[in-house]
Each structure stands twice: as structure tokens, then as C-alpha cells.
Chains A and B, each alone.
Chain A
């Protein structure tokens, strides 16, 4: 068996595995393009005979998706900014020193990372309502997501800072930089890529967040797209093509960003998750 043949065979098997695994995604895209009757045909069609491209603008208008996606964007951007501002410095210090206090801090952060949102939402809801934070529901959700996701961000960014050579910072200090100067001029630019990738991962999570938004935001006009999708799916719905069109509009930007940045995201994720 020659090497090229073996390689072709392996790529073929790998493509087949990927196709099986990604079939649900394909099914979402295809269902969205089907007519009401083609959707319920037996046996199901795996290529739509008459694709309904107008469904996207119809769903966008009728479900008010612009407003939902705008709210998702506001929440995700707010959470990412807050997490980045607070988390980068924390990760930097935890990466620079090795002692008992750092171990304790790291342990606490890892413990906070694992708290399930659906269990934390009860005390957060009651507490926020007592302090009047629920009058600004999107801010409330941003704060809740920031508290939930910051530990993960710190763990990922800490791994990035660990890979920045300490000698460069020492050299900057010898050259007369202050700590702040060395941090902003030397360390941050070197860690920029890792921070960016971690921020993108957090953004993706926050963009699809559901539990906090569902529980803390009562007003429909402030709800994000995940809650909008949930209210679209009634118990006995049969509008599956519309729902899948909604899902398509919602996830395609995320998927596109992921496929473009795949290599960086995967390496950023794996360097942090197991260290």
C-alpha cells in the first residue's frame, strides 16, 4: 500500500466522519429552505427541490430578529469588555508569581468556573431584585455572565502570559520602564493574540447565553436572540422551516468566525483547559 493511497483513504474516512458528525448542521440549513409540505415528506428529501430563499427575510421581519440580535450583541459585548478589563490583569499576576497565594487564588477561580448558571440564577435573581438591578435587566445579565465566565477567561489568558518570556519584561525594567509601562508596552502586545482568542471564545458563549437572559429579562424588547428562539418553539410547533431559518441567521456569523479563526481558537482552548 503506497503512502499516497493510504493518505487518500484516511482523508476519505475523515471526511465521512466529519459529514456524519456535522449532519445536524446540514439538516438545519436544508430544512430552512424547504416548503411547508416538503418538510413533512416521507421519505425526507436531502436536497430541497425548490429552495425558499425568501424565508430569511420573512423570518427576520416577522420575528423581529434585528432587535433580538442587537440585544444579544449588546449583552455579549458588554460582558466581554467587562471580563477583559478585569480579567487580563488578574491572569497576568497569576502567571508571574509562583507561591501559596497564587495557588489559593487559582484554586478559588477554578472552583468558581464550575458553578452551573441554572443553579446560581436563583440567588442572583433574588439579590438583584432586592438591589433594584432588575430595572436595568441587560446590565444585570452582563454582570451575571461576567461573573460566570471570567474564571474561564483568566485560566486561558494566564496560559498566554506564561508563554511570554519574562526576560523581555526584565529588560524593559532595566531600560527604565515602570511596571505599568512595561506591562502596557511589552507584555500586553506580546500576549495580544491569546487575549483576543480568549475574548472571542467568551463572546461566542455570551452571544448564545440563555439561562440568565431568560430569568432576569422580563421585557420582550430587551431579550436576546436565544430567548427569542425559545419563545418561537412552542410545545406543538410545526413551523420547523421558520425555526431553522431563525437558527441559521443566529448561528451562521458565529460559525463563520469559528471556521476562519479555527486554528487559533483550538490552540488557545487546549493550552488553557489542561493547565
Chain B
């Protein structure tokens, strides 16, 4: 009886363009209402596919207006001449690829692109390695392990600018506590002027960013580790594999997709990092610690060259989207506990 109703409603169902299991899984076991068009429309919103479509379309429309349109507008502006006078007008002169050509002929562009590459790779490497080490440590069972592990995440919920302020003070040249520790351990002789020495200023932000992101890496890696079946290790132990062999033959291969997702996420998050630059070096001295995502903002809001700011944004957004395709691909079709 129930199956018969199922089949009938599935055939008449307004979402019948959906695969069958989507509908039958949803159990439309109510008799359909008959009535005039208006009533059906109304009942569709309260009780049919209109309900679902309305719930999805409203937020998607919102996102389209406030994220999609700005994306398009960004591309348009990168081909225009935009200054303080033409800011308010909708019709600005188009200049073709002039902004892109100008951008790449500027002397600082090379430095800033190299800085971005260094910032991203050093941050991801640091966050991942320290995070993986901590995750492996907290994976061993002991009382309070999960609570203590969760505590690490405070670095991630703090406002980025506060993290920047704290590290700005820790990294200060004459009175910074980091220099004190390094001197005591005999690593350095004299003080390092982290924020004002062009050789170190980018590393100042990298250190702060590694601190900020390590906990998030650790938590996600812990989730991946807890998904590995324990009997694999028991079997390997019976076969006489030592802990190093177990790590390389079981842990790493089983974690491959998690690691892929985390590295892609790390790339996405590092390219979003802005607050630490604002809080520690402001990109200085002389662009020594400048990266593209700070530079784009600096060009628009400090130098009022909105067209150039938009141009860098377009280049970087294309890059970020490529990274996120990798992320989405590596998280799909995954079954995790």
C-alpha cells in the first residue's frame, strides 16, 4: 500500500525532474490538493517545491548581488580608468589592457609577487608541519587530550588585528620578548629588528601567521587521523612493522586526501590574510613585506588608484579560484566519520 502511494506521488511530483531517489527518499505521502491556480501557487510555497526553491533562491540572489556582481564589476574596472573624479560615474573611459601592462612594468611588482609566493609557501609549510606534529601527539590517548587540543583553537577565533598587535609587541626590536628568548638560547648575538629590517619583516608576518593557522591545521588533521581504522595498525604491528614504517605505510597514505584538502585550504586562508599585515608591518619597509592582497587594498584605499587595485584583485581572485577547485575536488566523494 505504502509503496503504491509512493510510486503515484513520485510520478505526479512537481520535482519529478529530480532523480527518483531524491523524491521518494523525501516521502511525499500526502494526497495532492486540487484547486484553482492561485491556491496551488500558494500551497506550493507553503507545502511544495516552491518552498524549497524559495528557500534557495533568496540567499542565492543575495549572494549574486553582493558577491557575483562585485566580481564582474571588478573585471570591468580593471579595464577602465578609475580615479577620484570618475569614481561616482557609471561611464568611465575604457583603456584596454593598459592597467595590466602598467602593473607589470612597475618595479615593485616582481618583489611583491615573490613575497606572496614566499609568504604562502612558508606559512603553509610551517602551519602544516607543526600542526601535523601536534595532531600526532594529541592522537595518542591520554586524559584531557581532546579538551587541551581544542584549547589551541583560541588563536583562530581571536580577531586577526589583535593577533597582529600582540605579535607586533613580541617581535619588537629592543624590548621584544622573542629577541630575549633567542638571545638566552644563544641563537642570536644582537637584536633582530623584525619589523623594520627589510630582511626580516616578511618573516615577522610569516611567524605570526604560522601561529595563527597551526591550530586550525591541527584540528582538521586530527579529524583525518581519527578516521583511520585502528585494526590496520594492529595488523601491521603483528607483522612486525615499527612505528616509523607504520607512519609511512599506513598514516600518510590514508591521510592523502585530507592532506590535499588541508593544503588547498591553507593556500586559500593564507591568501586571505590581511589583518596581520595591517597590524605588524603595513607592508613596509619599502614593500619588503608587501604581498598582493595587501597591495591591492593599499593601491585602492591609500593611493586611490582603484583601477590598479581592481587589476591585482582580478589576477589574485583567478588564482584563488583555481586553488579552491583543487580543494572542492579533494573533499568530494569522501566518507568521513
Contacts and interface: CB of A to CB of B under 8 A. Distances in A.
Given A39-B175, A114-B324, A7 B261 contact: no
B45 to A, nearest CB: 8
Given A97-B22, A275-B336, A116 B170 contact: no
A111 B63 CA distance: 11
A127 interface: yes
A178 interface: yes
Interface in B164-201: 165-170, 172, 174-175, 177, 180, 184
Given A119-B317, A215-B297, A247-B166, A226 B159 contact: yes
B122 interface: no
Interface residues of B, number: 113
B150 A27 contact: no
Interface residues of A, number: 107
B166 A244 contact: yes
B142 A96 contact: no
Contacts of B282: 235
Most B CB contacts (10 A, CB to CB) among A87, A121, A129 go to A121
Contacts of A111: 321, 324, 328
Contacts of A193: none
Contact of B26 (A10, A126, A170): A170
Contacts of A144: 66
Contact of B166 (A28, A110, A273, A274): A28
B47 A99 contact: no
Interface string A1-17: 00000110011011101
B244 interface: no
Contacts of A68: none
B97 interface: no
B228 to A, nearest CB: 14
Contacts of A258: 153-154, 157
A166 B27 contact: yes
Contact of A96 (B52, B293, B324): B52
Interface in B228-250: none
Nearest to B330: A274
B138 interface: yes
Given A90-B60, A111-B328, 12 more contacts: A7-B143, A18-B151, A25-B154, A110-B324, A116-B274, A119-B313, A122-B300, A124-B70, A170-B29, A176-B30, A210-B160, A273-B220
Interface of B: 18-19, 21-22, 25-30, 46-48, 51-52, 54-56, 58-60, 62-63, 66-71, 73-74, 77, 82, 87-88, 90, 134, 137-138, 140, 142-148, 150-155, 157-163, 165-170, 172, 174-175, 177, 180, 184, 211, 214-215, 219-220, 222-224, 258, 261, 265, 268, 271-272, 274-275, 278-279, 282, 293-294, 296-297, 300-301, 306, 309-310, 312-313, 316-317, 320-321, 323-324, 327-328, 331, 334, 336
